[in-house]
Structure 1
Amino acid sequence: MPEPPLSGRERESRLLDAFVQMADTLVDHYDIVDVLHELVSHCVRLLDTAAAGLLMSDQRGSLQVLACSTEQTRVLELYQIQTSEGPCWDCVHSGTPVSVADLATASDRWPRFAPRAASEGFTAVYALPMRLRRETIGALNLFRRQRNPVSDRDLQTAQALADTATIGILHERAIRRSEVLTEQLQVALHNRVLIEQAKGVLAQAGTLGMDQAFEALRGYGRRRGTRLSDVAQQLVTGAISPDTVLTDRYRSDSRN
């Protein structure tokens, strides 16, 4: 069941917590994939959106999916890359926000993406650039099922969250120089592959949906203070078994 709507005070408090968490995470050594998953999770929890996804440049001119709130969203983000069309694609290449409050009117603009997104139940899409000055490193995509537009306040909040992540990533790039950063991003992309493999292992072992498998994987790591990518590698290489992660998930659920 969906969570009840937040009161104004609850929303303000959670937004403050989100910004503090994002800022704290980016101060020291951090896992890019986990930070970006936090970003899309905050957008879904705190803003009037059904799902969120994020594409980033791999420094060679290609876009990669690095974070999504659901498996359904990940597939749509991949479809944007495959077809070279969609809100995130346009946003990254223009460096400016993209807002389409009614996907039914976007068939001429995105003849393949618009009907595909509509078939998944989405009625509107918004893309916000992860940009600092002239450098655009990616885009945050918000998906919506209601027909009324997202408020300007929510879009400004999403942009501010994206800006916080962007500043942290680009600051790290400036410190480590471009060649080191390319390696860092390649590691993040490699970790993304590991995470997808680990999700598949858990989904098959526990007869879970991919979203449930990801939450089980992430929850296991957080309860132990272990990075998401490290847990994924342990699972894929057999250092921990799927049963260990699944049993931990069931115990956690029973306590909540």
Structure 2
Amino acid sequence: MTRRLEELCRTCREEASVDGVGLAVLSSEGVPETTFVSDARSRLIEDLQFTLGEGPCVDAVRSGSPVLLDDLRAVSDATRRWPAFAQEAEASGVRAVFAFPVQVGAIALGTLDLYRSEPGILDADQLAASLRTVDRIAAVLLEMGEAGGDAVTEPSYRMVVHQAAGMVMVQMGTNIASALARLRATAFSEGVLVHVLAADVVAGRRRFSKEEL
């Protein structure tokens, strides 16, 4: 069924006339976990949102509504909410982002994220194609759940982040949410992806202390 998800994403990329596609499925903790990316830039944008804990994917999951940004350079309520993501995404060559929540009723399953290197809206046909893909992805994920399997196998680098967050929690004497926030903030300030910093923590090459609170 994973192949079916990949095929749906690739078809949507063509029908919506976008440069990149990313699909994230919610983990049991409600964290978006990247399941498919069409290219290296899409991987970077998906990882950036995970590192920062902000961006269109995050907002789409929280609101249950599509987040459609046809120009990242245009100041909006969305770009004000996540200035770091907007700046980094534009620097990577992304100018437009469209995030669609994948859900069934009130049950959130994940997000479908589309990217363009040039600004511009999704026209009516492209929007309709994207929404059809979202519905089809939701149906596949439900099938996977009914079959008793996991919708997605969590990538190893995500597991490293969760393991590192647990270690930082102990080192700093704080809770898991604060530890993860500290990892993300440190990674961003040092210009590295959060899973790279997490690997250093797990390997013992990096430690955090209570004095850093």
Pairwise TM-score range, normalised by the shorter structure: 0.5 to 0.7
Overall identity of the aligned pairs, in %: 27
The aligned amino acid for 1:157 is A
Report the counterpart of residue 6 of structure 1 in structure 2: none
Output the amino acid matched with 1:39.
L
1:37 match: 6
**What amino acid sits opposite 2:113 in the alignment?**
N
What is the aligned-residue RMSD (CA, Å)?
Answer: 1.9
Give the deviation of 1:145 after TM superposition: 2.1
Report the counterpart of residue 192 of structure 2 in structure 1.
Answer: none
Aligned residue in 2 for 1:155: 127
- Residue 99 (str. 1) matches residue 77 (str. 2): no
Equivalent residue for 2:85?
A: 113
- Rounded Cα–Cα distance in structure 1 between residues aligned with 2:31 and 2:121: 30
Is the aligned partner of 1:54 residue 2:18? no
Alignment gaps of 5+ in structure 2: 158-213
**Pairwise mapping of residues 212-251 of structure 1 onto structure 2 (< 5 A)?**
none
Runs of 4+ in structure 1 off by over 6 angstroms are: none
Amino acid at match of 1:121: G
Higher helix share goes to which structure? Answer: 1
Counterpart in the other structure of 1:189: 153
Structure showing greater relative contact order (alpha-carbon pairs closer than 8 Å, 6 or more residues apart) = 2
Is the contact between residue 18 and residue 116 of structure 2 (CA under 8 Å) also seen in structure 1?
Answer: yes
- In structure 2, what is the Cα distance between the partners aligned to 1:128 and 1:45? 16
TM-score, normalising length from structure 2? 0.66
5+ residue gaps, structure 1: 1-29, 195-256
TM-score, with structure 1 as normaliser: 0.56
Aligned residues: 154
Deviation at 1:164, TM superposition (A): 0.7
